[in-house]
Chain A
Amino acid sequence: MSYIIDRRLNGKKKSTVNRQRFLRRYKAHIKKAVGEAMTNRSITDMDKGERISIPTRDLNEPIFSHGPGGHVERVLPGNREFVSGDRIPRQGQQGGGGGGGGASDSGEGVDDFVFQISQEEFLDFMFEGLQLPNMIKRRLAGNESFKMVRAGISNEGTPGRINVVRSLRAANARRIALTSSKRRNLRELETELEREEQKDTALRDQRKLEALKKSIVDLRERIERVPFLDDFDLKYNLLVKQPKPRSKAVMFCLMDVSGSMNQATKDMAKRFFLLLYLFLQRSYEHTEVVFIRHHTSAKEVDEEEFFYSRETGGTIVSSALKLMRRIMQERYPASEWNIYGAQASDGDNWNDDSSTCHKILIDDIMPHVQYFSYVEITPRDHQALWEEYESVRALFPEHFAMEQIVDLQDIYPVFRQLFSQKVAA
């Protein structure tokens, strides 16, 4: 007798845990692969999954086995031309390399262990351990995020929230209230009945006895007819929404698109911002992003235009900072918002403009922002702008960071450095 069971509807993902354990164990390898993948990708598929390869020797689960050497006898199938006593010259590893008596594992694989990780996993690894620094301002923002709090008892609610104790207590009270007069009557009747029964048999009034007994039964029934639990006994736990204080953050992305930035530097700048954008989208649900691009004049643009527009011109860096200052004042009061800035440029600027930048930063921007990062994308020597910014960093070491990117490989490491999780000070 056989039992035939359809298991197709049972869970499929039995191995998920083991798969995750595997990924966790080889985190270092995967992170490295993710970092490399970042530099080789075109901008549009920055956030796809990735093939990860891990050298097989690192995955090895060692066991005691025979090594090459010694005297090995092997039986093989498919003889065509050999007769016993034939001598065959040794060729390379063949023969001697056969492991474990069985011919099974001759020729050990040296290929990497290659597998695919999903987009989710890829992004997880990419942004692991990153955060927006100094996000401290929190306030009640109104109507977006709530938590539910107990707020006493109500007569209405969903069955899942029934408060059993209160409901039964109410039912009990109702039963007492509804039956008290009847029970009083009952008690009177019973004492009367008792008195009647104690009389001498001859003196008893049979008809009265009958009547008493009947009304007692009657009363009992009426008392019993009061329901044990009624609809209006039900009490429910009441939960109310309470607004939760939440931090609001805005990121200003300032990108130089002047003529001095050639195609390669622009591409790197875009990659940097794209990374930043992906990071914010993924890790901070409620973060606003303001895109500003500038040459001689700055302009606030949307995401599409920021990454794909081709407009260009001369360079006045301060124009972008001025625009940022204006937008901050108009829309993002520093008392409510955690403000972040990220600026990318090749460092070329009108000479006298760099000091203006310095001044705007020091006076109007740095006091209000949580963190401002500047990346300079240039293989050349630094110019005035870098020096001015260095002095800003000296003034605000906690809140200002600057890094240089020379080529594609630098982007991801620099990005990690700028936004890596700081140990709480």
Chain B
Amino acid sequence: MLDKFPTAPDAKSEGPISTTSEWTFELIQEYDQAIGELAEEFGLDTYPNQIEIISSEQMMDAYSSVGMPVGYNHWSFGKQFISVENSYQRGLMGLAYEIVINSNPCIAYLMEENTMTMQALVIAHASYGHNSFFKGNYLFRSWTDASSIIDYLIFAKNYIAKCEERHGLEEVEAILDSCHALMNYGVDRYKRPYPISAVEEERRQKEREEYRQRQLNDLWRTIPKMGAGREEKSIHRFPDEPQENILYFIEKNAPLLENWQRELVRIVRKLAQYFYPQRQTQVMNEGWATFWHYTLLSELYRRGRVTEGFMMEFLQSHTNVIYQPPFDSPYFNGINPYTLGFSIFSDLRRICEEPTEEDRAWFPDIAGSNWKETLQFAMRDFKDESFILQFLSPKVMRDMKLFCISDNDRENEIVVSAIHDEDGYRQLRADLAGQYNLGNREPNIQVYSVDTRGDRSLTLHHTQYRRRPLGKDSSEVMRHLHRLWGFDVHLHSLHEDEITASYHCPERGRDRLDHDEEPMLVPKPI
């Protein structure tokens, strides 16, 4: 992956910043300053940095609360903590060197056990790489508000603690469990939420409470209208359009939830929204940060600010980070996002600086252009899916020896549908991009209708992607949904408008239709 070892230092240099592996606060400051100046030279635009030195135990704490600096309490974080602690104690796992939080100022954690080299690497990676990505990428710019997230987390933690006091641990835990089960379906994919601060959030929360109750009562009104002799014939389906944000729909429309329960739903939903861009830009985000720590530290070396020993240690961990085990290795665990992202960004720079004939054919717009601008453009306006589709070059596919297999359960054998050759590049690129499309990765499930006049049951539809059925957890998730909705819930899994499987809670007899049974037609809206 490393195309070339960084070139030897220039003659006219200021001399290395440090020569031992011990770090001190002064040294960290010096490194940060040197890296920061370089980053500016390269045109990285960042939030101010807040670098915090923590111990390994604190790192485990941070780890288990998914990196949120202030997390509300829930058993699942405890489970996470215990498993991290276990594998760490047994030496199965090294801790992450860093955690970085998308906030303003951008908080990065450094572990005290790290050597000076590692600290410098982390500073370059997190405080300048990730940081500039958070500030630049369009998803983060439009979906999360770095300046208010910490405030919101504090509000959430306090609010949940208050609910626990008032309504009991079990009650709160039950609702949170159910919300977590549906967390991936608590995201607005197209609307942009308005960020607000904690104080304001609290004030609004009170307003919402009243407003919500009024809204609900209207929807569920059972008193017949005066003078309406008979039922109106044309009853609209509710909701008018299918809703993809299930948690939002529940927050606004579930008939039996108490106000505080609705607020919990909202908190989980907000967090899901906050993490949504991160889930969509993993390859880009890690690739970008890895590319910059490599570029920044190599440049420092070229200018003679770090020693060769430093470089050796750095390159060793860098190589570990971007190691991609082949598919048949026992260590294989999917495509390493660091490797993929780093390769694409590095190759982009190569295409700009030393384009080949192939590059000119594939990337006529960017071959030979200014690499800094091109990379900035690639970082700003894409997410994983479109980024891969746009910038995955044949060279990277060849280097990583990518190939695509097609596994169709209607056939007896798995087919290798494309490999890294002239015929395969385009399909490979499209398939890999599809693999990062959240819409394909997660089943597409939407709220379809509510029986507002009858038993108040809620019906969801799953639109199958390439006939892929739902996993075995689904009935379990339905129970959680039932807890939130309060009345019967149904989920139909559809393939080309035919229901191939149905889940109900409370369960009804058989779950799945047998193959020979005639598939039911989709019930028409009431």
Contact = CB atoms under 8 A, between A and B. Distances in A.
Interface of A: 1-8, 10, 12-15, 17-25, 59-80, 82-90, 95-96, 98-104, 113-116
A63 B184 contact: yes
A74 B86 contact: no
B434 A67 contact: no
Contacts of B403: 75-76, 79, 82, 84
Contact of B472 (A22, A67, A73): A67
Contacts of A78: 324-329, 332, 400-401
Given A6-B25, A84-B416, A70 B421 contact: no
Interface stretch (B201-209, B312-320, B366-374, B435-443): B435-443
B414 A7 contact: no
B469 A4 contact: no
Interface in B26-43: 28-29, 32-33, 36
A15 B415 contact: no
Chain B CB count within 10 A is highest, among A17, A78, A79, A113, for A79
A24 B75 contact: yes
A102 B432 CA distance: 9
A2 B51 contact: yes
**Interface centre among B77, B82, B180, by most A CB within 10 Å?**
B82
A18 to B, nearest CB: 3
Contacts of A101: 434-435, 440-441
Most chain A CB neighbours (cut-off 10 Å) among B57, B413, B471:
B471
B9 interface: no
Contacts of B33: 2
A61 B181 contact: yes
Interface stretch (B354-362, B448-456, B460-468): B460-468
B234 interface: no
B463 to A, nearest CB: 12
26 contacts: A2-B29, A5-B53, A6-B25, A13-B61, A18-B75, A22-B75, A22-B82, A62-B480, A66-B442, A66-B443, A69-B467, A69-B469, A71-B407, A71-B408, A74-B405, A74-B431, A75-B404, A78-B328, A78-B332, A79-B402, A82-B416, A83-B419, A84-B417, A88-B414, A103-B332, A104-B333
A19 B49 contact: no
A154 B53 CA distance: 51
B444 to A, nearest CB: 10
A356 B471 CA distance: 70
Contacts of B408: 71-72
B413 A88 contact: yes
A84 B418 contact: yes
Nearest to A4: B51
Q: How large is the interface on B (under 10, 10 to 19, 20 to 34, 35 or more residues)?
A: 35 or more
A21 B71 CA distance: 14
B55 interface: yes
Contacts of A103: 327, 332-335
Nearest to B32: A2
B400 A89 contact: no
Contacts of B410: 71
A22 B77 CA distance: 8
Nearest to B420: A79
Interface string B467-498: 11111111011001000000000000000000
Contacts of A68: 409, 469
B57 to A, nearest CB: 4
Contact of A18 (B58, B73, B127, B473): B73
A121 to B, nearest CB: 12
B58 A67 contact: no
A4 B58 contact: no
A66 B51 contact: no
Nearest to A60: B473
B406 interface: yes
A98 B409 CA distance: 12
Nearest to A91: B414
A22 B58 contact: no
Given A71-B467, A74-B404, A64 B415 contact: no
Interface in B318-368: 324-329, 332-335
A75 B324 CA distance: 13
A25 B77 CA distance: 12
A77 B50 contact: no
Contacts of B465: 66, 70
A65 B471 contact: yes
Contacts of B255: none
B293 to A, nearest CB: 16
Nearest to A87: B413
Contacts of A71: 406-410, 466-468
B417 A64 contact: no
Contacts of B213: none
Contacts of A21: 73-75, 78, 169, 173
B424 interface: yes
A63 B181 contact: yes
B51 A5 contact: yes
Contacts of B25: 4, 6
Interface string B158-170: 0000000000010
B466 A87 contact: no
Contact of B432 (A8, A70, A75, A113): A75
B57 A12 contact: yes
Contact of B404 (A13, A20, A66, A73): A73
A69 B65 CA distance: 34
B336 to A, nearest CB: 8
Contacts of A70: 409, 464-469
Contacts of B112: 8
Contacts of B442: 64-66, 100
Contacts of A5: 50-53
Given A84-B424, A96-B407, A114 B86 contact: yes
A73 B429 CA distance: 12
Contacts of B471: 64-67, 99
B402 A96 contact: no
Contacts of A82: 403, 416, 419
Nearest to B414: A88
B297 interface: no
Contacts of B73: 17-18, 21
B334 A8 contact: no
Given A2-B36, A7-B53, A76-B405, 7 more contacts: A2-B33, A7-B58, A14-B65, A18-B81, A78-B327, A79-B327, A115-B83
Contacts of A22: 75-76, 78-79, 81-82
Contact of A15 (B49, B78, B440): B78
B300 interface: no
A98 B414 CA distance: 13
A20 B333 CA distance: 32
A84 B421 contact: yes
A75 B77 contact: no
A1 B334 CA distance: 38
Contacts of A3: 48-51, 105
Nearest to B400: A77
A68 B407 CA distance: 10
Contact of B61 (A12, A99, A102): A12
B28 A76 contact: no
Nearest to A86: B416
A113 B83 contact: yes
A4 B473 contact: no
B49 A2 contact: yes
Contacts of A24: 75
A76 B402 contact: yes
A325 B78 CA distance: 52
